[in-house]
Chains A and B, each alone.
Chain A
Amino acid sequence: MKQTFFSKYLFIAIPTLTLTACGGGGDGGNSSNNSVFSEPQYADQWHLKNTQQIGEDINVEPIWNRCTDDSCKGESVRVVIVDGGLEITHEDLAINMVAGKSYNYTNGSTTPSLDDHGTSVAGIIAARDNNIGVQGVAPRAKIVGYDLLNASTIINEADAMTRDAIQNHVSNNSWGVPDDTATLEDSPAIWRTAIDTGHTTGRNGLGTVYVWAAGNGYEAGDNSNYDGYANYRGVIATGAVTRTGQRTYYSEQGANLLVSAPGGEGCNTSTTTGIVTTDLTGSSGYNAGTAPNDYAASNYTRCFDGTSAATPVVSGVVALMLQANPHLGWRDVHAILARSTRHNDPTNSDWQTNGAGLTINHNYGFGVVDAEAAVLLAESWINLEAEKIYPTNIEIVNQAIGDNNGSSVTSTLNVTSSDIRNIEFIEIRFSAADHTYSGDLEITLVNQSTGTSSRLANTRTCSNCAPYSNWRFGSTRHLGEAADGNWQLKVEDKAPEDTGTFQSWQLTFYGT
């Protein structure tokens, strides 16, 4: 969670907020009465239903209203919250917890650590529709929690991606490498292997769906493509938008972003601008019940934000999709999300239409998730064919990059006979290892057949720039385009003093 609301907003004394209508504990939600409006804090959950900025929500109510027996709210889907832990006995989460299946990485028990962040993430996904507190996107989804972040070894990271993979349909990951350095941080090879294993063994071969926070480091010059977890092809990198549908001040851009979702901004005292969700019971956690800008009911908070908050929104939507069509493969989920998004922030200048007619934006991916559109498309979807992978040869360039003189070095790869007519993802390997300040470089991939461009790296100041030594970038932006054709990589040094060489690059296409 962004710990910035006190520094970003004036502290204005207002009357203490109270619960509006409390159902006295509810009935456990076993009956269905389309009670979407019965949760006491529902009116503040603008990400579910935005009554002030009409349309700036995830359009989930039509899905909930489709079933009178609660069979459309994710009850056959299990989501694992990989985080710092979560409160498995929380009044609004407990009934959805799968007993004995959470995991504590410090003591090996099935009780994860108590953690405010993980508890808030869990509530966004699956807070029960029970007349208590708040409601999750998939209020009947089953949830488990792994407190990986208390013991973040690479073995534990890999384990968290594959533990109970057959039963864990969706893996929510609202964490990552530090966001405040704008430097390159790769994922361990063994983690990527674990993700690949999750794809081949999860959900009995259909693949666990991994949702990943894009990162909160925009103001530090960070980009999601500098993060080897978020830019891996096997995850859904998720950006965050405000309640007016624009990129939050912290949400990182990236050619690797697939979608965005409401992530909120801070804790405005008059209008709810954060994401409303569960908090640790009692005075623990984010809300002690005494702050004038948060609820008196301290088991909930209106102040959660970050790409941490946007990510579980997407996880909840994926749960609804898998409830509607449990036969979707993980690649199908990615493809459906990209094709069912809402085109938010229409005046943003970065929107581009790619060669397949899909609109894409470095701030938003393909746009903000639309739960109704995603579920309807999931129901009628014909699964993608088996994936093809086509790596090009490594192109040796070895050209000096002019130092901040307006010139650039370009290299073109001519791809033929790839047999990939519909790209799903492109990996770009890039080396300029001798450049003494990698932050100087602006790097852009262009499909010369369609004009679609992917800005892979921006010139920025990094507190500890790591060199581009066979660095792996990722791009979702060429979804649906053909791989065959001319692809150009352009490298420009836009800051003085440091120099180096564009050494080599390589493309790997994934698609059908």
Chain B
Amino acid sequence: MKTTPFALPKWIFLSLVMLLITPHISFAMSSNTKANIDDKQVEEKLQQYTWYDGNQKRSVWVNPSLMAEFNMPTEGTTAVKSSSTSNVKTQMPFVRFIKIKTDASTLQTERKIQGKSQLSPVLHNVASTTGTKRALPGNVIVQMQRDWSQEKIENWFKKHNLTAIKPLTFAPNAFLIQSKAGLESLNLANKLYETGDVVLASPNWWQERVKR
């Protein structure tokens, strides 16, 4: 009988080889099935939040491993405008992503949020960290009913302790409301929408977009 390396009979050797490689073959064959693609969703139990996009209630899920840091001015300041010696090539990026290595609250206390740097969790439209990213640089968009007067709107802002930064020209009776970055802006937007008084209340999301 012809023997194989290690002096094993051929049939035993081949059996052992098949036992060793079969699991890998199965994995390779199934790697493109939707079952495997969904494994990541199953494995990741991500924290879910909801928000209102107009009258559509949408869900988002927090990425536990990333934070977003925004370099944008507090509205009304010029904190991030280029200095006279800088040029557009060296301007700081609007957003960058930080892997969370320490407790998020610890990380946040290390940053001085004074209109120079704002932190937000990174979220996704689907319950997976491979989905399109979004984050919360701060501030909330509200659109009031068309027939509300300026006085009525201002009174409503006072009632809800809101600071209107500016009116928005791309929608009627729409305003930018001041809010800190992160989930605070999401929660404020939801609270305002749930009053039933507004047409729209949305955090000013940053969203991942691509060139085509």
Q: Which A positions have Cβ atoms within 8 angstroms of B?
A: 1, 83-85, 104-109, 111-114, 117, 149-155, 158-159, 161-162, 174-179, 181, 183, 185-186, 188-190, 193-194, 197-198, 213, 215-216, 306-308, 311, 437, 439, 461-466, 469-470, 495, 497-498
Contact partners of B206 in chain A: CB under 8 A: 151-153
How many chain B residues touch the partner (CB < 8 A)? 52
What would be 10 A-B contacts, judged by CB atoms less than 8 Å apart? A84-B211, A107-B91, A152-B209, A153-B205, A153-B206, A153-B207, A193-B170, A306-B212, A462-B34, A464-B41
CA distance in complex: A465, B202 (Å): 24
Given the contacts A150-B94, A464-B130, A194 and B171 also touching, CB distance less than 8 Å: yes
Contact partners of B170 in chain A: CB under 8 A: 158-159, 161-162, 190, 193-194, 197-198
Q: Which of B15-23, B81-89, B99-107 contacts A (4 or more CB under 8 A)?
A: B81-89
- CB within 8 A of A155: which of B37, B93, B168, B200? B168
Binary contact track B49-92/A, C-beta < 8 Å → 1, others 0: 00001111000000000000001100000101110000011011
Given the contacts A176-B209, A190-B170, A464-B41, A111 and B34 also touching, CB distance less than 8 Å: no
Q: Which residue of B lies closest to A216 (CB)?
A: B212
Q: How many A-B residue pairs have CB under 8 A?
A: 160
Q: Which residue of A lies closest to B54 (CB)?
A: A189
CA distance in complex: A55, B46 (Å): 54
- A106-B93, A151-B72, A190-B200 known, 5 other contacts, Cβ within 8 Å: A112-B88, A194-B171, A461-B32, A464-B130, A466-B125
Q: Does B137 contact A (CB under 8 A)?
A: yes
- CB within 8 A of A183: which of B71, B131, B176, B212? B131
Q: Does B110 contact A (CB under 8 A)?
A: no
Given the contacts A84-B211, A176-B212, A213-B212, A439 and B88 also touching, CB distance less than 8 Å: no
Q: Which residue of B lies closest to A252 (CB)?
A: B212
Binary contact track B105-141/A, C-beta < 8 Å → 1, others 0: 0000000000000000000111110111000010101
Q: Which residue of B lies closest to A116 (CB)?
A: B211
Interface class of chain A by DSSP: loop
B166 CB to nearest chain A CB (Å): 10
CA distance in complex: A72, B125 (Å): 46
Q: Does B35 contact A (CB under 8 A)?
A: yes
Contact partners of B179 in chain A: CB under 8 A: none
Contact partners of B209 in chain A: CB under 8 A: 149, 152, 175-178
Contact partners of B195 in chain A: CB under 8 A: none
Q: Are B91 and A154 in contact (CB under 8 A)?
A: no
Q: Does B26 contact A (CB under 8 A)?
A: no
Q: Are A190 and B202 in contact (CB under 8 A)?
A: yes
- CB within 8 A of A105: which of B92, B94, B132, B212? B94
Q: Are B210 and A175 in contact (CB under 8 A)?
A: yes
Q: Are B207 and A152 in contact (CB under 8 A)?
A: yes
Contact partners of B190 in chain A: CB under 8 A: none
B3 CB to nearest chain A CB (Å): 45
